[in-house]
Structure 1
Amino acid sequence: MKIIDAHIHLDQYKNQTIERIINDAEAEIAVSTNLESSKRTARLSKNYKQIKPAFGYHPEQSLPSERELAQLISWIKTNGREDAAIGEVGLPFYLSKKNQLHQPIGQYIEVLEAFIMTAKELDQPIVLHAVYDDASIVCDLLEKNSVRKAHFHWFKGSKAVAARLIRNGYNISITPDILYEEEIRQLAETFPITSIMAETDGPWPFNDPFKGKLTRPNMIHAVINEIANIKHLNRNEVYVQIFVNTRKFYFSSQ
């Protein structure tokens, strides 16, 4: 059955590892974390037809200067192919939780809105790192800028926030921890199957059946099987629906 890894940091793998895993899936949505990461992702996407690149600045780090942000957005507008996406961008939930924010949260929100506006200008999908209460702030920004093609990767949040995402027609993606994390299992049950994609967030490591294993796109098969079990749906139909969801979200312009 065909699969797409809806969120993976391929630029963080060694070249020989990419060669080993690239054919695991029909396609991989390869996200970036800063300008240099975006440039490597762009190079990889030229070498491998399976890669759809996404360019952005990951929020769980010190923010770029105004000059660096302008340089990155200018590079995206100049070098971003028509089939690219914006991401990974969002808000620093985990830094904030550890009281390790490098700048005031308002500055992170301003940077995120700059990327949201870029996504709107380029008419590209946007890949978001936004969990729990941060997801509500991001929804405010998306609604303000009339951006609807939003992918909340590895989403976690309350029933109220989940309902807002569903109401707005946003997509989420489920990771391999659905096999052992009750919170993720409940979200898979809550969201309609038409709003769900599957991802690895590789090279992020996972536990239980995946402990000690290289994170690679073929783990998506276990994710889809578990989604089918949780939602009491036909396994083959879930494979098809999640594949269709991801192609429609990321490749509908092709």
Structure 2
Amino acid sequence: MNHSIIDAHIHFDLYCEEERAIILRDMEKYKIKAFISVSQHLSSAKANLKLSQEDHRIRPAFGFHPEQALPTEIDLAELQLFLDKYHSHMAAVGEVGLPYYLRKKEPSIPIEPYIELLEQFIQQAAALNKPIVLHAINEDAPIVCTLLEKYSITKAHFHWFKGDQKTMEQMTSNGYFVSITPDVLYEQKTQQLVKQYPLSHMMVETDGPWPFEGPFKKKMTHPQMIHHAIEKIAFIKKMKAQEVYDRLYENTKQFYFN
């Protein structure tokens, strides 16, 4: 584990204080240079901003996670003002997207208001010239791609992408990025994504504190798990680990830090 990594997607504010201290303490040991901490809503965005001000290795993204009830007009306006005010501190707009799992649980929930909400965040990302971090699962992904194309968004990051071959080809053609989680060690669909998607448009993430199975079962999700994911990516791609480490690190730097 002598190679530098960046966790491209983590919910750092959702860890308890003790867990956050462990991760920050371990960063130098595991060569974790930085991570992108995405937000759930306004209070989450404020928490991530504060954390980033306390430690420069934390890069915050501000947004509204779609797997929850829609914000009120007042809440949305306050969040959008927050993005405008602190855009210079913000690595990206995110996490935003469409409520796939929420609608699976409650099929009566209409998708149209969530599409309208996402479109507003896409417009704001375009206006602020910021990347956008997306939660777009299976049949929701083509809808999101169409919205991105409408506003000529090129710096789009589909975290933990799950979708069909046609959508994957559309995303590749548009130059969108995906990020791979530690489930690549045991999930065939993730392994297939790694096999097919170009390394030039790939990053790595944990989505922590989301828990994993396989060798990570009952373990706190920690950015150091990315090292295991990268070794698996190198194996799937039939490449030297050093080359994969270097490419993923540069991809993330160029996407979020330039």
- Which one of the candidate residues 5, 8, 11 is aligned to 2:7? 5
Contact 1:176 1:220 (C-alpha < 8 Å) held by counterparts: yes
Q: Classify the secondary structure of the residue corresponding to 2:94.
A: strand
Please tell me the residue identity of whatever aligns with 1:147: I
Deviation at 1:100, TM superposition (A): 5.1
Corresponding residue of 2:154: 148
1:208 aligned to 194, 214, 221, which one?
A: 214
TM-score (norm 1): 0.96
Question: Secondary structure of 2:59's partner?
Answer: strand
Q: Aligned-pair distance for 1:99? A: 2.5
Give the structure 2 partner of residue 108 of structure 1: 114
Structure 1 residue 43 displacement after superposition: 0.1
AA matched with 1:55: F
Query: TM-score under structure 2 normalisation?
Result: 0.95
Q: CA deviation at 1:194?
A: 0.5
> Equivalent of 2:45, from 32, 38, 43?
38
Task: Map residues 179-194 of structure 1 onto 2, 5 A cutoff.
Answer: 179-194=185-200
Deviation of the 1:97 alpha carbon: 1.7
In the alignment, structure 1 residue 221 sits paired with structure 2 residue 238: no
What is the distance in 2 between the residues matched to 1:99 and 1:166? 32
Q: Residues 151-196 of structure 1: CA distance to partner in whole angstroms, max 9, x if unpaired? A: 0000011111100000000000000100010000000001011011
Residue 233 of structure 1: how far off its partner (Å)? 0.6
User: Residue 230 of structure 1: which of 219, 228, 236 is its match?
Assistant: 236
For 2:189, what is the secondary structure of its paired residue?
helix
Determine which of 104, 126, 130 is the counterpart of 1:97: 104
| CA distance in 1 between partners of 2:225 and 2:50 (Å) | 25
Matching residue's letter, 2:65: H
Q: Secondary structure at the match of 2:224?
A: helix
Checking the alignment, whether the CA contact within 8 Å between 2:8 and 2:203 is kept in structure 1 is yes
| Matched residue count | 251
Paired with 1:238 and 1:84, the residues of 2 have a C-alpha distance of 23
The letter for the 2-side match of 1:92 is: P
Letter in 1 for 2:104: K
Give 1:16 deviation, angstroms: 2.5
Per-residue Cα deviation, 1:116-174 (whole angstroms, up to 9, x for no partner): 01100110110000011111000000000111100000001111110000000000000
2:242 aligned with 1:240? no
Report if aligned partners of 2:203, 2:248 keep a CA contact under 8 Å in 1.
yes
Q: Which residue in the other structure is 1:67 paired with? A: 74
Unpaired segments of 5 or more residues in structure 2?
none
Distance 2:15 2:103 in 1: 27
The answer (yes or no) to whether the contact 1:83–1:251 under 8 Å persists in 2 is no
CA-CA distance at 1:84 after TM superposition:
2.5
Counterparts in 2 of 1:109 and 1:54: CA distance versus 1, 3 Å: same
2:45 matched to 1:21? Answer: no
Matched, 1:76 2:76: no
Offset from partner CA, 1:22-45 (integer Å, 9 cap, x none): 214100000000000000000000
**1:128 maps to 2:134:** yes
Could you tell me how far apart the structure 1 residues matched to 2:83 and 2:42 are? 9
Can you give the 5+ residue segments of structure 1 that lack an aligned partner in the other structure?
Answer: none
2-structure distance, mates of 1:192, 1:79: 33
Shift of 1:82: 4.8
**Alignment RMSD, CA only?**
1.0
**Rounded Cα–Cα distance in structure 1 between residues aligned with 2:82 and 2:250:** 31
The question of whether the paired residues in 1 share the 8 Å contact of 2:36 and 2:91 is answered with: no
Structure 1: which amino acid aligns with 2:186?
Y
